[in-house]
Amino acid sequence: MISVIPYQHVFFTGIGGCSMSGLAETLAAAGHSVSGSDNHQSVATDRLLAQGIPVFIGHRAENLPTDADLLVYTVAVHADNPELLAARSRGIPIMERGEFLGLLMTAFPKPVCVSGTHGKTSTTSMITSILLDAGYDPSAHVGAIVDAIGGSWRLGRSPYFVAESDEYHDSFLWFHAFAAVIINVEYEHPDYFKDLDHMLRSYHTFASNIDPEGFLIINASIQGLEKVTAGLACRVLTFGTPDAQYRHANLAFDSQGFVSFDAYERDTFLCRVGLRVRGAQMATDALAALACAKELGVPRADIPRSLSQFGGAHRRFEIKGQVNGVTVADDYAHHPTEIGVNLLAAKQAGYRRVHAIFQPHTFSRTKTLLPELAAAFADADTVTLMDIYAAREQDPGDIHSRDLLTAMRALTPEKDIAYFSNREDIVKRLFEIASPGDLFITLGAGDVTTLGDLILQTGLSTSSTAPTGV
């Protein structure tokens, strides 16, 4: 068992989340008893059940086993959740997911924490892959399925634990890293952070928790960089700009949109990096991963070799298939910057036309970032909007996908933009507007990912009747 976890049976409320399911699998692999519940059956819950981990669908007090001695929950779980109430009534300790991950991290002498508004998953996956290929045998916790490690987690035998570190609700403040990466900081999570300055203060606290013997790799282009790095005891190394310690140059894209670049440390050429993933943002993520790995002591020649084999994480411009000459892709992008980066990458990949299908994520984000979201689809030829995915929120009644539709049409009245509440109607629309050589890309952090499967299952039909949209 992992010695720092003084609990034998851990119950996870919300076990179907990528991070939660990964934690559950990690504990089970280490010899602990694990069970949990989730509101919905999913690929993750099926995977847990296949491993013999009990999973209940729906939250009920009776789900909590009699021998459970810790309950772990996500911030999406409300205070009146019956399992939380049952645990409290029985005196069972309760931990939020971030606190539990921070506890788990203390079992490893050299935690490596990767944070930022965008790119956490890809950069965490890249660093993990580099260390793994170099023989470092790292443990890892990633917010997506990564084929290189066979899931969202890995339990190694070395001092290194690479962890995606989420800023939402200040979860990452539970983490004490030996090394950390901050890829970028943009205003996000308006349901928690008041403004960008609030976020910068949190990132400064996160960076202040880094081991004084360790280091921070941080993007030099971050607005408010000095607020994040002020008074840090650890070494601070910058990347990403022409005057940063680590920089890239000569970006190029091949016929599939895969990116390559030259990496430099100051004026010293390090290597040419060729990736099998798309978009300029991936070059930035790879540069951060390269810098981190090099500072950890990975031989320079091993890094580009590993990056050249990196196939990406699931739901990061993931190609799901092709139907009648139309490619179907899926991405987790839900922030305006992420959306724009993915659509630009799609354009660079040479598709005839790019059809974006977007599911806004949370009411608060959609309302606060409405102008930025409306402007994020410049590189899409058509846009189809779905209903807002509520996630952890209740509908306040003052924001709707139709509001985003109106804002987008005001910006680009010539663009084909529509909203549908019914998925079958969306698929019918797509069948009408697509031709061979096009791309369908589903975007969003909710259940929009399942729409690609529906598209592939249904197939293109030129005889479909176009629905009436808004």
Enzyme catalytic residues = 120-121, 164
Distance between the two ends of the chain, CA-based, in angstroms? 56
Query: If you ran DSSP here, which 8-state letter would residue 129 be given?
Result: H
Query: What b/e readout covers 257-293, taking b as 16+ CB neighbours within 10 angstroms?
Result: bbbbbebbbeeeebbebebebbbbbbbbbbbbbbbbb
Instruction: Please state whether beta strands 33-38 and 55-57 pair in parallel, antiparallel, or not at all (unpaired).
Output: parallel
Output the CA angle 296-301-306, nearest 5 degrees: 80
Beta strands, E only, 195-253: 215-219, 235-239, 246-253
Dihedrals phi, psi of 129, to nearest 5 degrees: -65, -40
* Three-class DSSP category at 80: coil
For strand 235-239 and strand 215-219, is the pairing parallel, antiparallel, or unpaired? parallel
Structure tokens at 195: 């403004």
Select from 96, 127, 126 the least CA-distant residue to 111: 127
CA distance 210 to 382: 45
CA angle 466, 399, 379 (to 5 degrees): 55
- Determine the Cα–Cα distance for residues 7 and 416; give it in Å rounded to an integer: 55
SS3 252: strand
